[in-house]
Structure 1
Amino acid sequence: MRVVIADDHQLMLDGVRRALEADGGFEIVGETQDGRNVLSLVAKTSPDLVLLDIRMPHMDGLACLDQVHARYPDVKVVMLSASTTSDLVETALKRGATAYISKSVNPDDLPSTLRQAIEGNVYSVGVGELEPAANKAAGLTDRETAILTALARGLSNDDIAKELWVTQQTVKFHLTNIYRKLGVRNRTEAVRLAYQRGLVESPLYNPD
């Protein structure tokens, strides 16, 4: 996946590049710290994905988003920002952003998070205000919700790890947190409670 990164902090650019390159499934084809350069970079490099910070000099991320979305509608744009107020996130999504990810995301999870966003499985990560009400009430994160949904589909830990591009150890870690937050002991109880509380939709099998 060809990626352009725009962020006003060089350390952030370096960190994102390292995380994506270490994954092996991404090619960084352009970087900039100036919003004015985003559109020309997209024109020159034909990326599949543009990662935009909200606050950049000369042209902010929302303005860049508008231009990329208008001129290159097939290019996915994901906002990667420390600003996670609900109004800002909702504005970005309404204006065409594929997803909005908080900079607090674990760098190791960034590649899989981006894949999930591009596939339309997540719209916000690290932004509690936009989590579904039931999931928010249960204290579940976007990643935990994705894993709980996969459980409800009957997937094994290995299948979940492959689908979400994470290790089985990461899946087990999230499952432990899910069980604790839901007050259950195992995956069957977790799925049953998830259906009862509306944490997942359209059950594909009966957890009993």
Structure 2
Amino acid sequence: MDELTPIRVVLVDDEALVRSGLRLILEGDPALHVVGEASDGQAGMLLVADSQPDVVLMDIRMPHLDGLAATRALLARQPDLKIIVLTTFDTDDLVLTALRLGASGFLLKDTPPAELIDAVRQVAAGRTALSQPVITQLIRAVAGQPERQRRSEAVARLDRLTPRERDVAVAIAEGLSNAEIAVAQFVSVTTVKTHVGRILDKLAVDNRVQIAICVHSAV
């Protein structure tokens, strides 16, 4: 993305106060521009189609059409759209579903302003954005397994990777984009994409966020 072009953001949340707070925070950064707000998933889909944002901040629980259904429909139409799911601890049972749908990030609604701004920037650049508390909750939700068993299974899955693939997986877990991984490992972006594809297959996961969870689970 051109650094001179503001990142276009859409806010989808049924609470007007939350939307106002998010807008105030995001527009404090000149690189971010909130192009619209919607109070439910259905209105959000129409707004996205009309405004063509770079990033959507999507609440999960909303009337008419919830955030999960809206995320599924939006990504079916625009696979490259970046969606950050907003969550609270009492809705984490739904975060795993959003993960499988291909959301690019997961943040708590009380994420500090600087972290929120950085997350939007990171996702717009093709990286993932995960609040540490959300990572912890997601790992816990992957299965109702004891921590030792979860770690053992994650380690076993990572053992399927070659050393270079493991390095790429760790870099993904650190939030690096393909371009950044290519620079760090002195390879082409095409090579990194090939590694990512093989990692997805070997770990039997669907997206980069799930790779990150596997890596974090093994620690």
Shorter-chain TM range is 0.5 to 0.7
- In structure 1, the partner of 2:137 is 129
User: What is the correspondence of 1:33-44 to structure 2 with a 5 Å cutoff?
Assistant: 33-44=39-50
The correspondence for 2:115, drawn from 105, 109, 112, is: 109
Question: How is 1:24-39 mapped onto 2 (pairs within 5 angstroms)?
Answer: 24-39=30-45
Partner Cα separation in structure 2 for residue 117 and residue 78 of structure 1: 8
Q: Given the alignment of the two structures, is residue 15 of structure 1 paired with residue 21 of structure 2, yes or no?
A: yes
Q: Which runs of 5+ in 1 are unaligned?
A: 138-144, 148-197, 200-208
Query: Do the aligned partners of residues 20 and 123 (structure 1) sit closer, same or farther apart at CA in structure 2, a change above 3 Å counting?
Result: closer
The residue number in structure 2 matching 1:66 is: 72
Pair 1:93–1:123, CA change in 2 (3 A)? farther
Give the conservation status (yes or no) of the 8 Å contact 1:99–1:122: yes
Change (3 A) 1:10 1:112: same
Distance 1:66 1:2 in 2: 20
Q: Distance in 2 between matches of 1:129 and 1:53?
A: 17
CA distance in 2 between counterparts of 1:42 and 1:85 reads 24
In 2: Cα distance, 1:68 partner to 1:83 partner: 24
TM-score, structure 2 as length reference:
0.57
Q: Secondary structure in 1 aligned to 2:26?
A: helix
Deviation at 1:96? 1.1
Letter paired with 1:58: H
Contact 1:52 1:78 (C-alpha < 8 Å) held by counterparts: yes
Percent sequence identity over aligned pairs: 40
Describe the SS at the equivalent of 2:94: helix
Higher relative contact order (CA 8 A, sep 6+): 2
Q: Is the 8 A contact 2:9 2:35 kept in 1?
A: yes
CA distance in structure 2 between the aligned counterparts of 1:96 and 1:130, rounded to whole angstroms: 14
Calculate the TM-score normalised by the size of structure 1. 0.59
Task: Output the CA distance in 2 between the equivalents of 1:78 and 1:112.
Answer: 12
Letter in 1 for 2:8: R
The alpha-carbon deviation at position 21 of structure 1 amounts to 0.4
Which runs of no fewer than 5 residues in structure 2 stay unpaired? 1-6, 141-146, 152-172, 176-214
